[in-house]
Amino acid sequence: MAERIDQMVIAAVKKISDGSGALAVNNVQKLFVDPTGGNITALEAVNLDIRPGEFISLLGPSGCGKSTLLRLIAGLDTPTSGSIALDNEVVAGPHYFRGLVFQDPTLFPWLTIRKNVAVGLDARGILKEKEEEVDEYIQLVGLAGFESSYPYQLSGGMAQRAALARALVNHPKVLLMDEPLGALDAFTRMNMQDEILRIWKDRGTTIVFVTHDIDEAIYLSDRVVVMTPRPGKIAKVFDIGIERPRSRNYPDFFEIRSDILELLHFAEKNKPEYYL
């Protein structure tokens, strides 16, 4: 019995090490040029280490640099100073190792769901050998039977599932999600939160998740990184020690929520809590 448990643990560790990566954000600063020719500091002295297989949420007020940091990790932009590394390799541009899911599913309307999911594999020239995986990931996100449908025939939640499958089929080491549930109604959003957790547990992929929703961050994450208003810095990192599956009305949940609200309110005294 003990030997069987050891084998299961080894298999789980191997799954995580094979399918996820470690991120290191080292003293990152990001400046933008404003219309007058001056500089706007979007991020300042951001340091963050993310372990393989960890689920991290970036939380903070609008304009604090959450999405900017995500774009830097994705390689869509470069830091003004500092560095970002995935598994000790400096991020120097976009790569399929870093999958990105936006708030808008950004599906190609002229392609079927199957072809949308397969578009990355096709661009890499490996679709023929990965055909079965396209079907596997469509099934994983709960869209089996909709392979031949077009984006306009799907609900918002279903379209976001397709976007998730499109990112995951490339086997990213880290999945970057920029408010992917922000446009969904409350019930669909909660269902999608559970679906994301299910897929995360199944695949063990490192996830960095941007959200404005405090409850969502606590419900999903191993750690919640709270950022200050511009220039964006890390105000505090909250370890969410609540066992999964989590209940949104658990006393510890409310205690962490209260601590985060207090921190955000302190960081932005002139804004009421309902804005957050």
Residue 113 in any domain: the answer is: yes
Residue 126 in any domain: the answer is: yes
Compute how many other C-beta atoms are within 10 angstroms of the C-beta atom of residue 267. Answer: 19
Q: With a cut of 50, which residues of the chain have pLDDT below it?
A: 1-17, 267-276
Task: Give the residue numbers spanning the domain of 137.
Answer: 107-171
Q: What is the pLDDT of residue 272?
A: 42
Please state, in angstroms and rounded to a whole number, the distance separating the CA atoms of residues 201 and 74.
Answer: 22
Please state, in angstroms and rounded to a whole number, the distance separating the CA atoms of residues 12 and 261.
Answer: 35
Q: What is the pLDDT of residue 20?
A: 86
Same-domain status, 185 and 160: no
Q: What is the pLDDT of residue 66?
A: 95
Contacts with 269 (C-beta within 8 Å, 6 or more apart), sequence order? none
Same-domain status, 185 and 91: yes
Same-domain status, 156 and 71: no
C-beta separation of 98 from 91 below 8 A? yes
**Mean pLDDT of the chain, nearest integer:** 89
Please state, in angstroms and rounded to a whole number, the distance separating the CA atoms of residues 112 and 124.
Answer: 19
Q: What is the pLDDT of residue 270?
A: 40
Same-domain status, 119 and 180: no
